Amino acid sequence: RAKLLQRAGHFYFSRSMGVDIRERVRLMHALRSALEAKELFVVYQPQIDLATRRPVGAEALLRWKTKDGTFIAPDRFIPIAEYSGLIIEIGEQVMRVACEELVRLQALGFTDFTMSVNVSQVQFRHPRFLDTLRNVLADTGAPASRIELEITESIAMEEPDALIELLGKIKQIGVSIAIDDFGTGFSSLSYLQRLQADRLKIDRGFVTEITSSARGSSIAEMVIQLGRNLGLSVVAEGVEDDRQAQILAALGCPLAQGYLFARPMPADQLQKWLAHHAA
């Protein structure tokens, strides 16, 4: 296997991963210069209340547009940012930009609006994560109570005690926690309760299944019920058609996000979209 040493630590790439190592290394270098060349930017996807169809918040999503105008998907470059340690710097910038945008939206009168930011497990494990979060909130003036961090269910499975302690500290600051892609991991229900999450995001895969078979909605239904029983908010991800939205609303799902309502968009478009849809 090939061993690569990076500033942020030691990382191993094994051939059995089935990915061309040279391609990864090329992307890693490209990503480093992308950060310097400001080819990375943040877009926002509205989250809506299913009963009223009014916007309640947005999720910040990272984009990489290279010099020649091609987009590289986050599912491709986030893992590389994680291996290389670049995610620490990139993740902090996303958090900062999203907080600045939230403050701008508040000034425009969208005071109840929340901003969700995805956080990688590599960021979470970094010893300075809490300090970074505190600094970003202090520098931008963003209200902690309107910020939500999205962590995946798979992070939630590793090093439970350390994670639970960290989540407790984050919640003390006033920041909320959402479990992203919920249903795709295998965390136990008692563990879920210990995490003190505020929100579950039903993975897009289960939302798609809702209309595909007779029992297709069973997992979505279970998550909605679980949310209700544990007093957690629930967001359905990747809602693409109105039938899905109607079934989710009928099942009592409070919130949704997806192409049916809005695609992720740059900040200036989000402001226009909100001015139009929040009225």
Contact residues for ligand C2E, defined by CB under 6 A: 45, 61-62, 73-75, 78, 91, 94, 118-120, 150, 180-181, 204, 237-240, 257-259, 264
Site membership for Mg ion, residue 82 (CB under 5 A): no
Say whether residue 118 binds Mg ion (CB under 5 A).
Answer: yes
Q: How far is the CB of 101 from Mg ion (least distance, A)?
A: 16
Residue 4 or 222: the one with the smaller Cβ distance to Mg ion is 222
Among 150, 202, 248, 270, which residue sits at the site for Mg ion (rule: CB under 5 A)? Answer: 150
Of the pair 105, 235, the CB lying nearest ligand C2E is at 235
Size of residue set near Mg ion by CB under 5 A? 5
Question: Least distance in Å: CB of 152 to Mg ion?
Answer: 7
Please identify, using beta-carbon distances, which residue of 96 and 146 lies nearer to ligand C2E.
96
Nearer to Mg ion, 100 or 181 (CB): 181
Residue number with CB closer to ligand C2E (78 or 195): 78
| Minimum distance from residue 29 beta carbon to Mg ion (Å) | 25
DSSP per position, the chain: -EEEEETTEEEEE-GGG-S-HHHHHHHHHHHHHHHHTT-EEEEEEEEEETTT--EEEEEEEEEEE-TTS-EE-HHHHHHHHHHHSTHHHHHHHHHHHHHHHHHHHHHTT-TT-EEEEE--HHHHHSTTHHHHHHHHHHHH---GGGEEEEEEHHHHHSSHHHHHHHHHHHHHHT-EEEEEEETSS---HHHHHHTT-SEEEE-HHHHHHTTTSTTTTHHHHHHHHHHHHHT-EEEE----SHHHHHHHHHTT--EE-STTT---B-HHHHHHHHHHH--
Q: Which range of residues in 14-22, 45-53, 130-138, 176-184 is near Mg ion by CB under 5 A?
A: 176-184
Minimal distance, residue 257 CB to ligand C2E, in Å: 6
The residues binding Mg ion (CB under 5 A) are 118, 150, 180-181, 237
